């Protein structure tokens, strides 16, 4: 039997006559207000144990959610479970409120309200939910580079609710950056990039703790920078920093989210060999030797399509979030290549190098080297 659909006014009249009104939204949704005198039970909980809420199969039950779709699905599930008088409220709580029907407005802590409203779309995802969002809020990500890759990565990590973002970059904002480095503005030309980033990110999400470090990452400071990180994100633009970050992340057992762009193409991967020696590769397994400067010019020499770092940086942020939440299949052991001209993605499988001097099982850390000389071929 199909569950009947009632308008909010009809449902309110039936509630006044004794019908049981159940708000099937999640708790964080109900905290923003619910129909007066409604019971609050999330749809999945109601469907799994309806007898705990509605003991009698012939009780008149009306279900309401945000806009009507979820309550209708739950109403159909209850009808299939033997409830003979169950209906759904058309338009849900939004229409109930718009029609001026009585609401119960809970008094909640302003910080809790901000959390529920800001991350409402995450809280609806079973793979994230309140527990996952709190995990993001407790996480610390170290971002090396506040330029083309770091800008979109930082924006999305801040928006997603990462608790602390440490950003290391010793450069200042230049007008030529603005074509792709969206953290920065014309008004902040000449400002340290990390300070400009802190201004932009704090304006987006005041809950974020930003720790700007206007330093060049070197062998002397890399361990202090990343030792407390849950994830390290490589937003740099030179090979010396990439090899340095790789070696430090292997030594300290930190996952490294790699990204690189060149003209119209980009790459993304996750190097997690420090925590999974012999199972996943590190950056050196993919590139045992750096290419010559002539074969791999940087963006200031070869140019780059302005939107390309946005695509790659966004993918890096996605991988960082997945690693923190422990969901999905991160790009460990896989290199994702993107060709903007052909709008194609291509995946390459990567295997660990059993002779890798840094990450092969049983190999002691060889120590840091002169990465600038190594990458220049000297």
List active site positions: 299
Exposure b/e, 32-54, CB count within 10 A at least 16 = b: bebbeebebbbbeebbeebeeeb
According to DSSP, residue 278 is labeled T
Q: Is residue 89 helix, strand or coil?
A: strand
Asked if residues 359 and 279 have their Cβ atoms less than 8 Å apart, the reply is no
Asked if residues 194 and 212 have their Cβ atoms less than 8 Å apart, the reply is yes
Selection from 237, 229, 238, 234 nearest residue 246 by Cα? 234
Q: Is residue 342 helix, strand or coil?
A: coil
Exposure of 183 in the CB half-sphere (CA atoms within 13 A): 32
Could you give the CA distance from residue 75 to residue 230 in angstroms, rounded to a whole number? 43
- In the chain, count H helices and then E strands: 16, 15
> How many other C-beta atoms can be found within 10 angstroms of the C-beta atom of residue 115?
21
> How many other C-beta atoms can be found within 10 angstroms of the C-beta atom of residue 126?
9
Would you put residue 143 in left (φ > 0), alpha (ψ -120 to 50) or beta? beta
According to DSSP, residue 290 is labeled P
Residue 342: which residues within 8 A CB-CB, separation 6 or more? none
Phi, psi of 219 (to 5 degrees): -60, -25
């Amino acid at each position: 039997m199909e569950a009947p659909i009632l308008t909010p006014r009809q449902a309110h009249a039936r509630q006044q006559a004794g019908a049981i009104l159940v708000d099937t939204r999640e708790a964080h949704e109900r905290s923003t207000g619910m129909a007066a005198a409604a019971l609050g039970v999330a749809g999945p909980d109601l469907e799994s144990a309806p007898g705990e809420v509605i003991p009698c199969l012939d009780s008149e039950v009306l279900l309401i959610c945000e806009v009507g779709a979820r309550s209708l699905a739950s109403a159909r599930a209850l009808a299939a479970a033997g409830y003979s008088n169950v209906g759904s409220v058309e338009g849900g709580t939004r229409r109930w409120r718009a029609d001026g029907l009585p609401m119960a407005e809970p008094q909640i802590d302003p910080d809790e309200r901000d959390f529920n409203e800001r991350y409402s779309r995450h809280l609806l995802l079973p793979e994230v939910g309140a527990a996952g969002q709190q995990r993001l809020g407790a996480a610390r990500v170290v971002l090396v580079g506040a330029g083309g890759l770091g800008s979109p990565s930082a924006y999305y990590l801040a928006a997603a609710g990462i608790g602390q973002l440490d950003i290391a970059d010793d450069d200042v904002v230049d007008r030529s950056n603005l074509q792709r480095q969206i953290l920065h503005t014309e008004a902040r030309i000449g400002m340290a990039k990390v300070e400009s980033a802190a201004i932009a990110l704090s304006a987006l999400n005041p809950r974020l703790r930003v720790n700007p470090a206007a330093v060049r990452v070197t062998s002397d400071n890399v361990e202090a920078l990343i030792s407390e990180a849950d994830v390290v994100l490589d937003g740099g633009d030179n090979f010396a920093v990439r090899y340095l970050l790789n070696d430090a992340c292997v030594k300290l057992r930190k996952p490294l989210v790699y990204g690189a762009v060149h003209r119209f193409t980009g790459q993304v991967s996750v190097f997690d060999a420090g925590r999974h020696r012999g199972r996943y590769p590190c950056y050196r397994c993919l590139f045992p030797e750096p290419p010559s400067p002539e074969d791999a010019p940087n963006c200031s020499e070869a140019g780059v399509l302005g939107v390309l770092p946005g695509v790659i940086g966004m993918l890096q942020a996605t991988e960082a979030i997945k690693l923190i939440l422990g969901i999905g299949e991160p790009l460990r052991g896989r290199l994702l290549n993107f060709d903007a001209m052909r709008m194609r993605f291509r995946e390459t499988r990567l295997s660990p190098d059993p002779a890798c001097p840094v990450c092969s099982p049983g190999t002691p850390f060889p120590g840091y080297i002169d990465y600038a000389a190594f990458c220049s071929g000297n």
